[in-house]
Structure 1
Amino acid sequence: MYKLKTKENDSDVVEFIEAVENDRKKEDAYKLLDIFTETTGYQAKMWGPSIIGFGSYHYIYKTGHEGDAPLVGFSPRKAKISLYFATGDPDREKLLQQFGKHSSGKACVYINKLADIDEDVLKQLILQSVKFLRETYPEAGTD
């Protein structure tokens, strides 16, 4: 049976950021921490060993697979910074057109550095993601 690896835990967010080796990436991680905290109103929590998440929601897929995930989050990874927003939201793609230099996968948006993107659009993406997930999963973000 599949076991979800990315669970909320009590690891220290600041300790995790302090362990980031690249100084610019560490500085960007602190700025992102402030932006996500102020925009969502949620306290940052570690999810798995490397994702800083904000809020949470419980999902159940048509396949029966279910679990919990952060509403939004980020991870200052070695190659790029991963930003986690809701998938399946049509407004996400419209906002990403105005976002700045990035690439995206199914679940993540990747940036090299914060200076490459529009921080106001980042805040809009965060708010839109939280709104979309709260509408999709009515009990989302009630923690």
Structure 2
Amino acid sequence: MDELSEYLDSVTPARRRDDARTLLALMAEVTGEQPVLHRGGIIGFGTYHYQYASGREGDSIAAGFAPRKAATTIYLMNGVDRYTAELAELGPHTLGVGCLYIKDLSAIDLDALRAIVRDSYETLTSGTYGQRAGED
């Protein structure tokens, strides 16, 4: 058994574990990338390069999620503000600047989520992304 499978088997509660497996398939389909388990239990798909006006630069996951006990965190590194219409159709969720928190994936419109993840991934991987989440 590989490290990612072992990690997924350890996720609790069971609902979060099932949601993680669904998201794994959804994000692999949308991005065309293989999942990579990062420190802190973040499952990432692809990478993007960022460079800020300050000169700081680096690489980060282009799409990803982390199954946490309280909720699953979906990372939208280009911010959530641009997805107002899609989020209105999504179902029950809460937001951070660059994070979407979902407690029950079965209550979510997966087509709306798929569209959000696809747009975020395509935006981030289209070239050097020079903004922080929430900046336009």
**Would you say same fold, with TM above 0.5?**
yes
Using the TM superposition, name which of 19-28 and 82-91 deviates more. 82-91
Which amino acid in the other structure matches residue 60 of structure 1?
Q
Match of 1:107 among 98, 101, 104: 98
The structure in which a higher percent of residues are helix is 2
Give aligned-pair identity as a percent: 36
Cα displacement (A) at 1:85: 1.5
Residue of structure 2 equivalent to 1:16: 7
Specify the alignment match of 2:65 in structure 1: 74
Matched, 1:124 2:115: yes
Query: CA deviation digits over 1:11-64, x for unaligned, max 9?
Result: 822221111121111111111111111111100001222110101011111222
| Equivalence for 2:50 | 59
Q: Distance in 1 between matches of 2:82 and 2:43?
A: 23
Structure 2 Cα separation of the partners of residues 89 and 82 of structure 1: 13
**Correspondent of 2:16 among 12, 18, 25:** 25
Deviations 1:100-136 (A, max 9, x none): 1101001100010101210001110111001211335
Aligned to 2:77: 86
- Structure 2 counterpart of 1:85, which letter? L
The answer on 1:50 being equivalent to 2:38 is no
Task: Give the C-alpha shift of residue 86 in structure 1.
Answer: 3.1
Shift of 1:88: 4.3
In the alignment, the residues of structure 1 paired with residue 15 and residue 81 of structure 2 have an alpha-carbon distance, to the nearest angstrom, of 32
More moved, 93-102 vs 128-137: 128-137
* Residue identity matched to 1:27: D
Runs of 4+ in 1 over 6 A off after TM superposition: none
SS at 2:54 equivalent: coil
Question: Using a 3 Å threshold, how does the CA distance of structure 1 residues 88 and 111 change in structure 2: closer, same or farther?
Answer: closer
Please name the residue that 1:4 is paired with: none
Going from structure 1 to structure 2, the CA distance change for 1:18 and 1:37 (only over 3 Å counts) comes to same
Aligned-pair CA distance for 1:94: 2.3
Q: CA deviation at 1:89?
A: 6.8
